[in-house]
Amino acid sequence: MPNLYEFSAHKPNGELVDFSTLQGKTVLIVNTATKCGFAPQFEGLEALHQQYKEKGLVVLGFPCDQFAHQEPVSDSDMTEFCKVNHGVTFPLMEKIKVNGKDAHPLYVWLKEQAPGKLGGTIKWNFTKFLVEKDGKTVHRYAPTDVPSSLAPKIEEVL
């Protein structure tokens, strides 16, 4: 059975991130969009990053433009916007697709591990997946779940 550590993704600058480097970490993966009504969650995600990074939490943002064209800007503009407007320091990856035939393989796997109420699709921006240290156990959270509400589960699995 695949696990998180078998995947990789590119940063906005094109650098490949091999997720095998995340072994032993708890990872929060979120599809993001700067023009979404849930964009204030960037600040909550950053707060989780700051609060738990020393204990082994890694937050990864995956910008996606599949929902109402809410991530229309380039990867570099998105990165700058998140840094300036929301104080984001956690890693942001390059823009990907999370649904459909061109969905990033990581998201195909995440949706199989934690299907959610709509089965094998992502409903909207800011769907969150918490992957435990074993790289296999995945918990899914809705876009409406604010990042701070994940803290008890994060503390439990760290």
| 37 contacts: CB under 8 Å, gap ≥ 6 | none
Confidence label for 118 from pLDDT (cuts 50, 70 and 90) = low
Give me the catalytic one of 27, 36, 110, 131.
36
CA 133/CA 123 separation, integer angstroms: 26
Confidence label for 120 from pLDDT (cuts 50, 70 and 90) = confident
The residue type at 122: I
Q: Which CATH number fits domain 4-12+34-157: 3.50.50.60, 3.40.1170.60, 3.40.50.300, 3.40.30.10?
A: 3.40.30.10
Q: What pLDDT, in 10s, does the model give residues 48-106?
A: 999 999 999 999 999 999 999 999 999 999 999 999 999 999 999 999 999 999 999 99
Map out the domains of the chain as residue ranges: 4-12+34-157
Cα-atom radius of gyration of the chain, to the nearest Å?
A: 14
CA 45/CA 89 separation, integer angstroms: 10
User: Mean of the per-residue pLDDT values for the chain?
Assistant: 95
Widest distance between CA atoms in the chain: 40
CA 127/CA 144 separation, integer angstroms: 8
This prediction's pTM: 0.96
Taking a C-beta distance cutoff of 8 angstroms, is the pair 59, 95 a contact?
A: no
- Residue 36 is among the residues annotated as catalytic for this protein: yes
